[in-house]
């Protein structure tokens, strides 16, 4: 085919398309023009949207975390309303008659348009109004769905809440999915999984007559309900341990080591997400925002704190892996450490000193001097490297926003303060003080990695099918190093000199590391990071109490209560290897 | 001056300026009830577009073809930029906001791609390496195609396909290749389907089945059909279109501007506009026939397909014979990027006509 033939073909395409277009225009405008003109004239098409019910959020056993409940709103059509009923109605609604009168006489855009008198009244009240229907003319109840969080103030942080779309968001988003009055997830799980929870709104396109009555349905689509979402959290277990937190600002996390499922993720004080969904709760919302204990902050994943002695696990691993220490290396603890004969003293928490200390003893008694020495030997670069290997200072993939924490380095300090790194800072770094900041979730993952001899679990808030094989990756550290550290952690609880004895149980061996992180001028933060059972680690548990005092006392005590609750719920008949020593009680051990 | 004005294809110039000027009637009717002043902005854009047009005519199309790879790279960069920092409206990220106006890089990219394809294809004759030429050409189109699809802007992306096919055809690709490309395209459609966003799938579904989304795109499709259809033979008269005036049809100053034309000027108005476009495109083909420069032929083929399909799809979607995708009616829709691009393209054709007799 030569060029001129091709041009001819090209022309035919143009002719063909143009003719097609003109013919379709003719069909639309001339042949069916009358039909469309009638449809357009009175513009008798109405859209009746029907919102898709939002998916429920459930706990791992199918208990409700979030659902939808009917809300009853009272409306009055002023034209039909008889003022004689005013006293009866206002008494039922718990309002002043004048209040109702004022609402009824508000000017409206259009006649016969009903006015909302009260939003979201109790079901009983709604029933009473319905029962008196013949006498209360013009008064009617309208029902719609409202998001409801039945556990009120539990896991508000994880769940988040939903809110009306803002004008700016509406402009940006796809109008096929979001309407002007759509709700969308505003935090936590509600936000992350908004797309699958929301489903697809439906509705009808109907033709109406001049009086607005429906003539026929032109097109209809059923709403597609949102998908339910099962979380990994264990509602029963969380409810059990809530009383032990009382007035504390604390966070408790527990993870299944095989699947990475988080069974507990509590940040206390919590907030009630219903407050953000229900109307007339402005006062409550302002109280939450202004509260000094900051209940809206999820301490478990967004709060960053110094890890204190828990960080000694990292220092120990760095020492073993770099070959600077072995299990037999000892250092002399006289109650303090000096970089050089004339420099300042770095104190041990035990003023009299621990004497000759090896790794196991150092972990068991949380000897600062031992780890000052190890930190000094391995240097800040290695501390940084192994902290990152254990997941600190790095983003942690989880379904809700989380903080990276902070692991300092000399470059970081140079950028931030334009100052060099001092050796003394390495000494503080080695015991988790100074610039180091971690989230409780990061500490949970750190003990999990140790418990699993270097396998890194991926924490998740979603329920994992028990049959799935969860892919794991492994750190480059040696298994023997982890085994040794685990033995030290066992001694923390089981030895009679251990700092975490208070958590000792009579039915199973728990391994842990306590931390009492200095946070002047306030009391120190209490940490307790553990895994259990020791012989075959299945769960990791972290308790953190903000400015709670000693980790070995406050945090260990809560951890023990959590473990007892766990046993009562799930392991009453399970037989574990017994501990070497009987458990201790707070009264007998000052 | 005389030298310069010699050989200008005046019919094309006056035809396109005429269509562009008539668009002010429609844009005014579509927007005069709103608060924003679209008219002044569009007038400003028309000035810019005419300057661009004369610039192309004076400089000549060859210079642009020689630099086409540079333009191409630049427009790809803009497309990446828009994906990273672009302004989002109605769920699509298509605009780069620069002070008081918003740039839509996909419009300019269309032209840059036509230029680069013309340059590339004319470097190789049809007797050497048909397959390789085709594959390379397809690659050149694929990059902007995917980037634009990601915004997402299905309409602008799809336009690249007739553009590529039209240019390959005029270049001289063997018919059996063209047919096999067509078949491959047809079989890959199901795979392409899954790369689309849900809302794009929905729009295509609505095209096949208007009940798929009665409150969203289905409503738009029905209302725009009512708008055009209710225009009848002579229309409701300027500024008297109820459908568009009362905002039943969205975007009626940009993508759905034809609703205003159909409703207010009826079948006569619509026919007139389509015929004007046909004349314009007819002249384009005439220019393509008369030039002896292979590069210019291919370039003209690309621009002609671009105009033809943009017009056909845009008008088609308002009357339900093409799916609703966000593309503009060239020369008529409100929007600076679209107008400037259209005039640049016409500038190339006029320049091809002017320089045709050099050999």
Q: Interior CA angle at A336 toward A335 and A339, to 5°?
A: 160
Tell me the pLDDT of chain B averaged across its residues: 85
SS (H, E, C) A177-200: CCCCCCEEECCHHHHHCHHHHHCE
pLDDT class of A128 with cuts at 50, 70, 90: confident
Chain A residues close to B282, C-beta within 8 Å: 14
| pLDDT greater than 90 at residue A94 | no
Pick from B46, B111, B112, B19: which is nearest to B74 by CA?
A: B112
Task: Classify residue B86 by burial, with Cβ atoms within 10 Å: 0-12, 13-18, 19+.
Answer: buried
The yes-or-no verdict on residue A210 having pLDDT over 60 is no
Selected residue of B173, B214, B280 to mutate for chain A interface (largest A Cβ count, 10 A)? B214
Q: pLDDT, tens digit, for every residue of A296-335?
A: 889 999 999 999 999 999 999 999 999 999 999 999 999 8
Q: How confident is the model at residue A214 (pLDDT cuts 50, 70, 90)?
A: low
Contact A219 B270 (CB under 8 A): no
Model confidence at B85: pLDDT above 90: no
End-to-end CA distance of chain B: 23
Which residue of B lies nearest to A5 if distances are taken between CA atoms?
B170
What is the tens place of the pLDDT at every residue in A508-521?
899 999 999 998 88
DSSP one-letter code for A350: S
The larger pLDDT score, comparing residue A266 to residue B245, is at: A266
pLDDT in tens, B288-315: 988 888 889 999 999 999 999 999 999 9
CATH superfamily to which A48-82+90-95+113-230 belongs: Penicillin-binding protein 2a (Domain 2) (3.90.1310.10)
Within 8 A of B212 by CB-CB distance, chain A residues are: 221
Closest Cβ–Cβ partner in A14, A45, A219 for B285: A14
* pLDDT confidence of residue A578: 62
Closest residue, chain B, to A42 (C-alpha): B242
Cα gap A359→A367, rounded to integer Å: 9
The alpha-carbon gap from A231 to the nearest alpha carbon of chain B, in Å, equals 26
How confident is the model at residue B32, as a pLDDT? 80
Q: Which residue has the tokens 């006015």?
A: A115
With an 8 Å Cβ cutoff, are A9 and B169 in contact?
yes
Choice among A141-155, B18-32, B51-65, B106-120 with the minimum mean pLDDT:
A141-155
Domain that holds residue B348: 2-358
Q: Over chain A, what is the mean pLDDT?
A: 86
Cα A171 from Cα A180, distance rounded (Å): 9
Distance CA B81, CA B255 (A): 24
Q: For residue B90, give the nearest of A175, A138, A85 by alpha carbon.
A: A175
Mean pLDDT of A21-43: 83
pLDDT at A48 over 80: no
Pairwise CB contact (< 8 Å): B230 & A17: no
Asked if B229 lies within 8 A of A21 by C-beta distance, the reply is: no
pLDDT surpasses 70 at B17: yes
Q: What is the mean pLDDT of residues A438-443?
A: 95
Domain count, chain B: 1
pLDDT at B343 over 90: yes
Q: Which residues of A touch B221 (CB under 8 A)?
A: none
- Is 80 exceeded by the pLDDT of residue B91? no
Report the percent of chain A where pLDDT is more than 90.
Answer: 40
Which of A7, A25, A32 is opposite residue B271, by nearest beta carbon? A25
Torsional sign, CA B90, B92, B96, B102: negative
Which residue, among B116, B25, B44, B73, has the nearest Cα to B332 in the 3D structure?
B25
**Least confident stretch, B87-91, B262-266, B355-359:** B355-359
Cβ contact (<8 Å) for B248 and A24? no
Contacts of B309 in chain A (CB under 8 A): 17
pLDDT tier for residue A111 given thresholds of 50, 70 and 90: low
Alpha helices in B197-254 (DSSP H): 198-208, 217-229, 242-245
Q: Which of 3.50.50.60, 3.40.710.10, 3.40.50.1970, 3.30.470.20 would CATH assign to domain A235-270+297-570?
A: 3.40.710.10
Neighboring chain B residues of A47 at a CB cutoff of 8 Å: 214-215, 219
Kindly list the domain boundaries of chain A, sorted by start residue. Answer: 48-82+90-95+113-230, 235-270+297-570
Which alpha helices (DSSP H) does B88-237 contain, by range? 105-122, 130-149, 154-171, 175-195, 198-208, 217-229
Least reliable range by pLDDT among A132-146, A241-255, A517-531, B235-249:
B235-249
Chain A residues whose CB is inside 8 A of the B224 CB are none
Q: Give the mean model confidence (pLDDT) for residues A264-276.
A: 90
Residue A34 scores a pLDDT above 90: no
The alpha carbon of residue B228 is apart from the nearest alpha carbon of chain A, in Å, by 7
Cis peptide before A533 (omega within 30 of 0): yes
Only one residue has tokens 């020369």, namely B331
CB A272 within 8 A of CB A480: no
Q: What's the rounded Cα separation, in Å, for the pair B160 and B166?
A: 10
Structure-token match 């709700």, residue found: A183
Query: What pLDDT digit, counting tens, does each position of B179-235 carry?
Result: 887 788 777 777 777 777 776 777 777 777 666 666 667 777 888 888 888 888 888
Give the three-state DSSP class for B252.
coil
A487-505 b/e with 16+ CB inside 10 Å = b?
bbbbbbbbbeebbbbbbbb
CB A487 within 8 A of CB A513: no
Structure confidence at residue A588 (pLDDT)? 36
d(CA A213, CA B75) in angstroms, rounded, equals: 54
Residue contact B242–A1, C-beta within 8 A: no
pLDDT above 90: residue A282: no
Nearest CA in chain B to A168: B89
Question: Are A173 and B288 within 8 A, CB to CB?
Answer: no
What crossing angle do the helices spanning B217-229 and B198-208 adopt, rounded to 10°? 40
The pLDDT of residue B23 is 92
Q: Give the per-residue pLDDT at A589.
A: 37
Q: What is the pLDDT of residue A277?
A: 84
- Say if the Cβ atoms of B229 and A35 lie within 8 Å: yes
Percent above pLDDT 70 for chain A = 94
| Residue among A4, A28, A174 whose CB faces B91 most closely | A174
Lowest-confidence region among A183-192, A205-214, A458-467, B44-53 = A205-214
Pick from A22, A36, A175: CB nearest B226: A36
Least confident of B128-142, B224-238, B242-256: B242-256
Of A106-115, A278-287, A455-464, B130-139, least confident by mean pLDDT is A106-115
Do B218 and A205 lie within an 8 Å CB cutoff? yes
Q: DSSP for A485-510?
A: HHHHHHHHHHSTT-TTGGG--SSS--
Q: What is the DSSP letter of B237?
A: -
More confident position, B126 or B334: B334
- Cβ pair B271:A9 closer than 8 A: no
Instruction: Output the DSSP codes for A365-426.
Output: HT-HHHHHHHHHHHHHHHHHHHHHHTTTTS----SS-----B---HHHHHHHHS-PPPHHHH
Q: What is the pLDDT of residue A583?
A: 61
Phi/psi at B217 (5° precision): -65, -35
Q: Which of B172, B215, B223 sits opposite A203 (nearest CB)?
A: B215
B226: nearest CB among A17, A40, A219: A40
Q: Which of A4, A176, A202 has its CB closest to that of B202?
A: A176
A42-51, A550-559, B35-44: the lowest-pLDDT one: A42-51
Which chain B residues are Cβ-neighbours of A32 within 8 angstroms? 229
Q: Which of A4, A13, A28, A202 to mutate to test the interface with B (most CBs of B within 10 A)?
A: A28
Q: Which residue of B has its CA nearest to A22?
A: B271
Query: What's the rounded Cα separation, in Å, for the pair A556 and A502?
Result: 6
Q: Do B199 and A3 touch (CB under 8 A)?
A: no
In this prediction, residue A590 carries a pLDDT of 33
What is the reported pLDDT for A570? Answer: 87
Contact B319 A18 (CB under 8 A): no
CA A419 to chain B, closest CA, distance in angstroms equals 35
Test B214 with A30 for CB contact under 8 angstroms. Answer: no
pLDDT for A587: 42
Q: What would the mean pLDDT of B267-289 be, rounded to a whole number?
A: 93
Of A6, A21, A30, the CB nearest to B312: A21
Closest among A499, A531, A552 to A254, alpha carbons compared: A531
Going by DSSP bridges, is the β-strand pair A355-357/A455-456 parallel, antiparallel, or unpaired? Answer: unpaired
Nearest chain B Cα distance for residue A162, angstroms:
20
Q: B278 and A47 in contact by Cβ < 8 A?
A: no
Minimum distance, in Å, between the CA of residue A18 and any CA atom of chain B: 7
* pLDDT at residue A293 in the model: 80
> Which pLDDT band holds residue A124 (cuts at 50, 70, 90)?
confident
Distance of CA A567 to the CA centre of its chain: 25
More confident residue, B84 or B250: B84
Looking at this predicted complex, what is its ipTM? 0.87
- Give the Cβ contact number of residue A278 at 10 Å: 16
| φ, ψ at B218 (rounded to 5°) | -60, -40
Instruction: Name all contacts of B140-146 with Cβ < 8 Å and 24+ positions apart.
Output: B140/B72, B140/B113, B140/B116, B141/B113, B141/B117, B143/B76, B144/B75, B144/B76, B144/B79, B144/B106, B144/B109, B144/B113
Selecting from B214, B228, B230 the residue whose C-beta is nearest the C-beta of A221 gives: B214
Full strand arrangement of the beta sheet holding A522-532:
A262-268, A250-256, A539-545, A522-532, A511-519
Q: Which of A5, A22, A176 to mutate to test the interface with B (most CBs of B within 10 A)?
A: A176
Does residue A388 or residue A43 have the better pLDDT?
A388
* Per-residue confidence (pLDDT) for residue A117, from 0 to 100: 84
pLDDT of B10 over the 50 cut: yes
Instruction: Tell me the pLDDT tens digit for each residue of B137-150.
Output: 888 998 998 888 88
């Amino acid at each position: 085919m030569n060029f001129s033939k091709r041009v001819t073909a090209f022309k035919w395409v143009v002719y063909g398309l143009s003719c097609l277009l003109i013919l379709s225009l003719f069909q639309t405008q001339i042949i069916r023009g009358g039909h469309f003109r009638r449809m357009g004239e009175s513009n008798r098409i109405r859209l009746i949207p029907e919102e898709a019910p939002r998916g429920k959020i459930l706990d791992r056993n199918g208990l409700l975390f979030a659902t939808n409940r009917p809300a009853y709103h009272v409306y009055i059509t002023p034209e039909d309303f008889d003022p004689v009923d005013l006293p009866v109605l206002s008494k039922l609604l718990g309002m002043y008659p004048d209040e109702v009168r004022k609402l009824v006489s508000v000017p409206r855009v259009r006649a016969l348009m009903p006015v909302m008198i009260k939003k979201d009244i109790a079901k009983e009240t709604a029933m009473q109004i319905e029962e008196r229907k013949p006498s209360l003319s013009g008064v009617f109840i309208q029902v719609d769905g409202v998001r409801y969080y039945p556990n009120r103030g539990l896991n508000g942080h994880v769940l988040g809440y939903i809110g009306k779309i803002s004008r700016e968001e509406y402009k940006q988003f796809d109008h096929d999915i979001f309407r002007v009055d759509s709700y969308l997830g505003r935090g936590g799980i509600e936000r992350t999984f908004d797309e699958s929870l929301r489903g697809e709104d439906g509705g009808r396109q109907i033709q109406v007559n001049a009086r607005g009555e429906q003539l026929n349905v032109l097109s209809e689509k059923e709403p597609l309900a949102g998908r339910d979402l099962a979380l990994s959290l264990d509602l029963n277990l969380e409810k059990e341990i809530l009383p032990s937190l009382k007035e504390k600002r604390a966070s408790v996390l527990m993870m299944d080591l095989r699947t990475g499922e988080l069974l507990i993720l509590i940040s206390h004080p919590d907030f009630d997400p219903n407050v953000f969904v229900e109307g007339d709760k402005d006062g409550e919302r302002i109280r939450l925002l202004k509260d000094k204990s900051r209940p809206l902050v999820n301490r478990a994943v967004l709060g960053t704190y110094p890890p204190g002695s828990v960080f000694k696990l990292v220092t120990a691993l760095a020492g073993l892996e770099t070959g600077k220490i072995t299990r037999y290396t000892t250092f002399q603890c006289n109650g303090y450490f000096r970089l050089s004969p004339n420099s300042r003293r770095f104190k041990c928490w035990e003023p009299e000193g621990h004497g000759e200390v090896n790794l196991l003893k150092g972990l068991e008694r949380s000897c600062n001097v031992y780890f000052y020495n190890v930190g000094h030997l391995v240097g800040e670069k290695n501390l940084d490297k192994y902290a990152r290997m254990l997941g600190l200072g790095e983003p942690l993939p989880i379904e809700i926003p989380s903080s990276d924490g902070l692991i300092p380095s000399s470059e970081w300090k140079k950028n931030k303060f334009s100052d060099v790194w001092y050796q003394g800072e390495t000494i503080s770094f080695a015991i988790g003080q100074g610039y180091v900041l971690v989230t409780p979730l990061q500490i949970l993952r750190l003990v999990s990695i140790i418990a699993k001899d270097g396998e890194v679990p991926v924490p998740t808030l979603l329920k994992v099918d028990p049959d799935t094989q969860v892919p794991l990756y492994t750190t480059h550290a040696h298994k023997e190093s982890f085994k040794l550290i685990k033995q030290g952690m066992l001694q923390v609880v089981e030895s009679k000199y251990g700092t975490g004895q208070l958590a000792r149980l009579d039915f199973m061996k728990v391994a842990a590391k306590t931390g009492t992180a200095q946070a002047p001028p306030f009391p120190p933060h209490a940490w307790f990071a553990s895994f259990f059972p020791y012989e075959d680690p299945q769960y990791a548990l972290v308790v953190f109490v903000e400015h709670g005092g000693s980790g070995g006392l406050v945090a260990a005590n809560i951890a023990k209560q959590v473990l007892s609750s766990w046993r009562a719920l799930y392991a009453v008949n399970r037989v574990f290897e017994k501990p070497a020593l009987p458990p201790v009680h707070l009264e007998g051990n000052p | 001056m005389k030298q310069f004005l010699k050989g200008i294809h005046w019919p094309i110039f006056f035809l396109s300026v005429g269509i562009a000027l008539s668009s002010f009637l429609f844009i005014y009717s579509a927007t005069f009830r709103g608060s924003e002043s679209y008219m002044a902005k569009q007038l400003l854009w028309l000035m810019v577009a005419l300057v661009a047009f004369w610039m192309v005519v004076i400089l000549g199309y060859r210079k642009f073809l020689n630099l086409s790879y540079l333009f191409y790279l630049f427009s790809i960069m803009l497309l990446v930029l828009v994906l990273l920092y672009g302004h989002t409206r109605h769920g699509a990220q298509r605009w780069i906001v620069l002070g008081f106006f918003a740039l839509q890089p996909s419009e300019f990219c269309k032209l840059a791609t036509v230029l680069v394809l013309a340059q590339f294809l004319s470097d190789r004759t049809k007797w050497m390496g048909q397959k390789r030429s085709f594959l390379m050409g397809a690659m050149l189109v694929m990059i902007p195609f995917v980037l634009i699809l990601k915004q997402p802007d299905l309409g602008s992306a799809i336009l690249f396909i007739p553009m590529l096919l039209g240019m390959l055809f005029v270049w001289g690709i063997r018919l059996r290749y063209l047919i096999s490309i067509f078949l491959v395209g047809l079989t890959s459609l199901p795979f392409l389907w899954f790369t689309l966003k849900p809302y794009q799938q929905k729009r295509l579904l609505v095209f096949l089945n208007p009940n798929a989304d009665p409150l969203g795109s289905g409503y738009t499709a029905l209302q725009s059909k009512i708008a055009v259809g209710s225009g009848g033979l002579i229309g409701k008269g300027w500024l008297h279109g109820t459908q568009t005036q009362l905002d039943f049809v969205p975007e009626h100053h940009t993508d759905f501007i034809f609703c205003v034309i159909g409703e207010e000027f009826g079948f006569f108005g619509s026919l007139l506009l389509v015929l004007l476009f046909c004349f314009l495109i007819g002249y384009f083909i005439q220019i393509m026939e008369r030039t002896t420069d292979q590069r210019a032929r291919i370039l003209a083929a690309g621009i002609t397909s671009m105009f033809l399909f943009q017009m056909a799809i845009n008008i088609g979607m308002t009357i339900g014979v093409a799916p609703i995708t966000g593309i503009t009616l060239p020369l008529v829709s409100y929007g600076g990027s679209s107008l400037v691009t259209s005039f640049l393209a016409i500038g190339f054709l006029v320049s091809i006509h002017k320089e045709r007799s050099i050999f």
